[in-house]
């Protein structure tokens, strides 16, 4: 019934994944990032230990996988970046798409700084440059951090140099395009990351005191399951870790070939990411058990069990205590760098894809247009003595408000303002081995947005009433709320600019609605025909 019309143009996908394996490696590489290594172990330990795995698995199945399916269906069906795909849902959806792109832009600007720290610490591990005071070395000698009441533009050469090199490296990869750049890099970096991390974990579990660390990590505190904050922590961990709801997986899926097993790939990517998080927990807490035993204290008495302090203060201290510590340090920080780079590439691809779709840029031109300002901002804000403070504020606000807002907006757009969930489920089922049940529509359209809105509301109220981290109110306004406002304002500007490469009009939207209706009718007719054949076969 439906035929392709000239008005239903869409971005050309001259470059696609060479196969499903390349896409899967890139998707897993995006999901496996810094948070897997330095966030999950501490979150799990603080929220019930082994018992945390129950809400964590529930969150993976009820939120993580369904949101992955939503991202995959939008990207694959509409064959474009978030602004293009969401505008094809409804004209106002383009703003939400650009908001996703700008959230990725803000994240990647500071993400590179943490990778640069890892590069330096990989070098420092060789001779354990931090000496007897890892915390003093990290904060005072390396970062040269100023207090939370002070802002400084003073550059720190030990950060700026590796940060500039990281940017040049990743922009070179993005400029090579999808298959020759992002896919080729992930085919090397992800297996290397897994091998290095397995070696590190194997070394850690044979350390003295490792069993005590593992007991602390896995021993369930069942009483914690009655605490709603534990469940909220599990939902938050899965949501951020899988890179869902803010354009990454949507963009990656848009480069897939038409016949691709979407739902099966999402299941593999989701559970692979969770497996790596649990592996990280085993490695981290084995090392923490050794540290506690060396100091003659319990694991529960240790501090700095999550975030940058875990990676750049606690782990260097462990490295200094253990035999062969320098090799362990190199392996750990090399793993951190590789995990960071694969995630940074996915963020860059979202921004690059949006620019290519709207303005017709080549991958090289897009990498320059986004890369030059990103590198300048990154060096100016996060290569200075205020870098750690700036990063802490921006990271908190753009994740807890920006990322959650984009996911909520996208889910509501699809479910209410441009009701297309039936069509998207039909599309998933038409190309996938694992069929999506009807319950998915209720999850994505009602339950998940409700949970995310609660998370968003709680974060906003908390920051308004209490500020954040003891920083000056002006700093929180500029770098916290300011980062979210920056993403919104630039998204509005980009939405208002004309599409110089592809047209989108009312006829296009009407055509797509017709396609969805045809798909549903065909699916119904096909099901009826199948049932009729079955009945006839049974009668004969």
Residue 258 pLDDT exceeds 50: yes
Indicate the pLDDT class of residue 13, thresholds 50, 70 and 90: low
pLDDT digits (tens, 9 = 90+) for 15-34: 789 888 899 999 999 888 88
Q: Shortest CA distance to 346 belongs to which of 111, 93, 117, 74?
A: 111
Q: CA dihedral in degrees (485, 488, 491, 496; nearest 10)? A: -110
Ramachandran angles phi, psi of 362, nearest 5°: -75, 165
Single out the residue of 67, 82, 163 nearest to residue 351, CA to CA: 82
Q: Which residue has the tokens 């208002």?
A: 496
Supply the pLDDT for residue 523. 45
3-state class (DSSP) for residue 87: helix
- CB neighbour list of residue 177: distance below 8 Å, 6 or more residues apart: 15, 363
Q: Is the pLDDT of residue 459 over 70?
A: yes
pLDDT at 527 over 50: no
Closest CA to 174 of 4, 313, 31, 363: 363
End-to-end CA distance of the chain: 34
Question: Which pLDDT does position 130 carry in this prediction?
Answer: 94
Query: pLDDT per residue over 408-443, tens digit each?
Result: 999 999 988 767 888 999 999 999 988 999 999 999
pLDDT of residue 444: 92
**Which two tokens mark 105?**
């832009």
> Residue 237: pLDDT band by 50, 70, 90 thresholds?
confident
- Answer yes or no: pTM beyond 0.85: yes
Measured between alpha carbons, how far is 431 from 434 in angstroms, rounded to an integer? 9
Which of 48-57, 404-413, 443-452, 503-512 shows the lowest per-residue confidence on average (mean pLDDT)? 503-512
pLDDT category at 380 given cuts 50, 70, 90 is: very high
Residue found by looking up tokens 């904050």 in the block? 229
pLDDT, tens only, 294-338? 888 888 888 777 778 888 988 898 888 888 889 989 998 999 999
Which pLDDT belongs to residue 506? Answer: 47
Tally the C-alpha atoms within 13 A of residue 19's C-alpha that lie toward its C-beta: 2
- The reported pLDDT for the residue numbered 515 is 52
Mean pLDDT calculated for residue range 167-193: 92
DSSP bridge partners of 155? 384
3-state SS, one letter per residue, for 121-187: HHHHHHHCCCCCCHHHHHHHHHCCCCCCCCCCCCECHHHHHHHHHHHHHHHHHHHCCHHHHHHHHHH
Phi, psi for 49 (deg, rounded to 5): 60, -125
For the ranges 113-127, 146-160, 331-345, 498-512, the lowest mean pLDDT is seen at 498-512
CA 13 to chain centre: 23
Among candidate residues 197, 202, 212, the one with its CA nearest the CA of residue 333 = 197
Is it the case that residue 288 has pLDDT exceeding 50? yes
> DSSP alpha helices (H): ranges in 17-92?
20-31, 34-38, 40-46, 53-59, 65-78, 82-89
Cβ partners under 8 Å of residue 128, min gap 6? 316, 319, 320, 325, 326, 329
CA–CA separation, 168 and 159 (whole Å): 14
Nearest partner of 299 among 200, 193, 209, 431, judged by Cα: 209
Question: What's residue 522's pLDDT?
Answer: 53
Mean pLDDT of 197-207: 89
In eight-state DSSP terms, residue 47 is T
pLDDT at 148 over 90: no
Reported confidence tier of residue 250, pLDDT bands at 50, 70, 90: very high
pLDDT in tens, 49-93: 888 888 999 999 999 999 999 999 999 999 899 999 999 888 889
Mean pLDDT of the chain: 86
Burial of 35 (0-12, 13-18, 19+ CB in 10 A): buried
Placement of tokens 């090392």 in the chain: 287
- Please give the average per-residue pLDDT across 132-155, as a whole number: 90
Residue 516 has pLDDT above 80, yes or no: no
């Amino acid at each position: 019934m439906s035929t392709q019309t000239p008005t239903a143009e869409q971005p050309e996908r001259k470059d696609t994944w060479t196969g499903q394996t390349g896409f899967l490696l890139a998707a897993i590489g995006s999901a496996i990032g810094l948070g897997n290594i330095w966030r999950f172990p501490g979150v799990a330990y603080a929220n019930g230990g082994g018992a945390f795995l129950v809400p964590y698995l529930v969150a993976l199945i009820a939120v993580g996988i369904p949101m992955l399916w939503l991202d995959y269906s939008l990207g694959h069906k509409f064959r474009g970046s978030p602004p293009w795909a969401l505008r094809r849902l409804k004209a106002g959806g383009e703003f939400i798409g650009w908001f996703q792109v700008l959230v990725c832009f803000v994240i990647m600007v500071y993400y590179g700084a943490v990778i640069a720290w890892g590069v330096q610490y990989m070098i420092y591990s060789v001779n354990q440059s931090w000496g007897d005071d890892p915390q003093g070395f990290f904060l005072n000698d390396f970062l040269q951090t100023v207090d939370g009441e002070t802002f400084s533009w003073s550059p720190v050469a030990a950060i700026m140099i590796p940060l500039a090199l990281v940017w040049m490296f990743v922009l070179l990869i993005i400029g090579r395009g999808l298959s020759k750049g992002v896919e080729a890099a992930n085919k090397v970096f992800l297996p290397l990351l897994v091998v290095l991390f397995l070696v590190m974990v194997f070394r850690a579990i044979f350390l003295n005191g490792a069993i005590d660390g593992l007991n602390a990590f896995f021993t369930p505190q069942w009483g914690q399951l009655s605490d709603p904050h534990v469940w909220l922590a599990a939902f938050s961990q899965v949501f951020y870790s899988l890179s869902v709801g803010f354009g990454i997986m949507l963009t990656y899926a848009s480069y897939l070939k038409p016949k691709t097993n979407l739902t099966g790939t999402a299941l593999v990517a989701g559970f692979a990411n969770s497996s790596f998080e649990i592996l990280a927990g085993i490695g981290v807490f084995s090392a923490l058990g050794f540290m506690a035993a060396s100091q003659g204290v319990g694991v529960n008495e240790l501090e700095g069990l999550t975030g940058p302090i875990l990676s750049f203060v606690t782990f260097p201290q462990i490295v200094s205590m253990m035999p062969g510590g320098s090799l362990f340090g190199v392996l750990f920080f090399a793993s951190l760098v590789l995990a960071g780079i694969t995630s940074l590439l996915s963020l860059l691809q979202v921004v690059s894809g949006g620019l290519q779709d709207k303005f017709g840029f080549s991958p090289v031109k897009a990498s320059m247009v986004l890369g030059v300002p990103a590198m300048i901002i990154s060096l100016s804000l996060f290569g200075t003595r205020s870098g750690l403070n700036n990063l802490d504020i921006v990271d908190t606000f753009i994740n807890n408000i920006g990322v959650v807002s984009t996911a909520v907006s996208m889910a509501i757009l699809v479910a209410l303002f441009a009701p297309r969930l039936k069509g998207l489920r039909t599309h998933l089922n038409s190309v996938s081995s694992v069929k999506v049940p009807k319950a998915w529509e209720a999850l994505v359209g009602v339950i998940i947005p409700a949970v995310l809105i609660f998370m968003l509301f709680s974060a906003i109220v908390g920051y308004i009433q209490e500020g954040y981290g003891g920083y000056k109110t002006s700093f929180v306004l500029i770098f916290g709320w300011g980062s979210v406002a920056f993403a919104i304002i630039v998204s509005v500007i980009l939405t208002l600019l004309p599409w110089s490469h592809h047209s989108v009009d009312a006829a296009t939207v009407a055509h797509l609605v017709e396609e969805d209706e045809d798909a549903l009718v065909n699916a119904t007719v096909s099901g009826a025909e199948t049932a009729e054949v079955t009945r006839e076969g049974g009668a004969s």
